[in-house]
Amino acid sequence: MKSRSADLSRVSSIAGIPTQVLQTQCFFHVKQPSLGASRLCPLQLFWAVAFGPGATGRRRPGGGRGGRRPRRSSAMGSRSSHAARIPDVDSIRRETGFSQASLIRLYHRFQALDRNEKGYLSRVDLQQIGALAVNPLGDRIIDSFFPDGSLRVDFPGFVRVLAHFRPVDDEDNGNRDPKEPEPLNSRMNKLRFAFQLYDLDRDGKISRHEMLQVLRLMVGVQVTEEQLESITDRTVQEADEDGDGAVSFLEFTKSLEKMNIEQKMSIRILK
């Protein structure tokens, strides 16, 4: 496992993400030990959206015009006064399950990413995140913040995406009103979210071609095209129960039945 840990610390230094985050939590799964599990996985990138570069100390690549710095709140005012400034904070809390402290933190992050104080983020705002810029999966991650071809994401939309990565806690399972919609961080919603990262054309199936594209982004250059094709075929075949050559959402969930999705698709500090 030596090479894997070396690989992780390299990734860690590139993306500015603690190694322990990488080690335990990757939600794409390539069944090919010789590839060293995963290269850069989406969870790390969502982590960077939520916390970097301010949190990781990573500088932006390329240097935007005039080296503008993200606004950082240095004021240590009371938390409730911060929360009061977040529009619709109560309904966001209900929908996402985030603690007030997390919402405040994410709100600061949102404001730091929102150059020009537009009140929303555009693709360009997210493209300035170093870890996404250097990662071939970066664009795919950015897409997930802009569903249905929208061009901007506001704060509620931003946290709604990140809420998929909130760890599942006892409260989520315990006193939940069955009439309420399923929480965004439920196993099913985590799976749905992962599925749509593969299902590019959103037809409800992962085609062989779509699988190939994602795997290509993930495994990098050390794999030949031929190997990649064979990994793709095997991955699709293993999941494809009805033999239509594509992976439906149901087949996707079944193929990941034994995987601890709740754990793998959670960012522990995102409470």
176-215 footprint of Ca ion as x/- string (CB under 5 A): -----------------------x-x-x-x----------
Long-range contacts of 76-83 (CB under 8 A, 24+ apart): 79/104, 82/107
Asked if residues 185 and 168 have their Cβ atoms less than 8 Å apart, the reply is: yes
238 belongs to the binding site for Ca ion (CB under 5 A): no
Q: Which stretch in 77-85, 158-166, 175-183, 239-247 sits in contact with Ca ion by CB under 5 A?
A: 239-247
CB closer to Ca ion, 171 vs 203: 203
Residues 6+ apart with CB under 8 A from 103: 83, 86, 89, 92, 93, 96, 159
Nearer to Ca ion, 125 or 199 (CB): 199
Residue 88 phi/psi, 5° resolution? 55, 35
Burial class for 199, CB neighbours closer than 10 Å (0-12, 13-18, 19+)? buried
Q: Looking only at residues 243 through 262 of this chain, which bind Ca ion when binding is defined by CB under 5 A?
A: 244
CA angle 70, 67, 133 (to 5 degrees): 75
Among residues 105 and 205, whose Cβ is nearest to Ca ion?
205
Query: Minimum distance from CB of 144 to Ca ion (Å)?
Result: 15
CB of 204 to Ca ion, least distance (A): 7
Q: What is the DSSP string of 169-238?
A: -HHHHSS--TTSPPPTTSHHHHHHHHHHHH-TT-SSEE-HHHHHHHHHHHHGGGS-HHHHHHHHHHHHHH
Q: Quick one: which of 100, 93, 122 has its CA closest to 110?
A: 122
Min. distance of Cβ 217 from Ca ion in angstroms?
16
Count of residues that interact with Ca ion, criterion CB under 5 A: 7
- Start-to-end CA distance of the chain, whole Å, equals 31
Closer by beta carbon to Ca ion, 169 or else 242: 242
Least Å distance between CB 150 and Ca ion? 20
Is the CB of 59 or the CB of 209 nearer to Ca ion? 209
Question: Is residue 194 within 8 Å of 265, Cβ to Cβ?
Answer: yes
Residue 50 vs 256, nearer CB to Ca ion: 256
Provide the minimum distance between the beta carbon of 251 and Ca ion in the complex, in angstroms, as a whole number. 5
Q: How far apart are CA 55 and CA 58, in angstroms?
A: 8
User: Shortest approach of Ca ion to residue 211 CB, angstroms?
Assistant: 9
Q: Measured from the CB of residue 200, what is the shortest distance to Ca ion in angstroms?
A: 6
Tokens of 23: 């080690």
Using CB under 5 A, which of 11, 240, 261, 266 touches Ca ion? 240
Would you say 110 or 252 has its CB closer to Ca ion?
252
Binding site residues, Ca ion, CB under 5 A: 199, 201, 203, 205, 240, 242, 244
